[in-house]
């Protein structure tokens, strides 16, 4: 067996390995991609759910702060005296 024959055997072995292992490697990378897409979609749905629950609470809080108080408050009006006028 010459050096050239040894290199041919190594080359054939490398080609066989590439053909045999390419399918599982591509499938593994595809599964990672599908998992990533699923995770991003789940994160987006969860964020939308949180926003949908938070917006009505924030709007209600904002309206309560702007509302006029329902209790009447006495107001004291004092007239200026004539001596303090300029």
Looking at per-residue confidence, does 84 or 65 come out higher? 65
User: How far apart are alpha carbons 13 and 21 in whole angstroms?
Assistant: 12
Cα–Cα–Cα angle for 39, 41, 43, nearest 5°?
A: 70
Question: pLDDT category, 32, cuts 50, 70, 90?
Answer: very high
pLDDT at 83: 64
- What is the tens place of the pLDDT at every residue in 9-23? 888 888 888 888 888
By residue count, the chain amounts to 86
Residue whose token pair is 């938070």: 54
Instruction: Sketch the domain layout of the chain as residue ranges.
Output: 32-65
């Amino acid at each position: 067996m010459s050096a050239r024959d040894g290199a041919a055997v190594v080359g054939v072995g490398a080609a066989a390995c590439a053909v045999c292992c390419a399918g599982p490697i591509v499938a593994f990378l595809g599964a990672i991609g599908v998992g990533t897409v699923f995770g991003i979609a789940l994160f987006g749905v969860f964020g939308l759910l949180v926003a949908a629950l938070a917006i009505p609470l924030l709007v209600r809080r904002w309206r309560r702060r702007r509302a006029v108080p329902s209790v009447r408050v006495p107001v004291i009006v004092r007239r200026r005296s004539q001596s303090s006028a300029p």
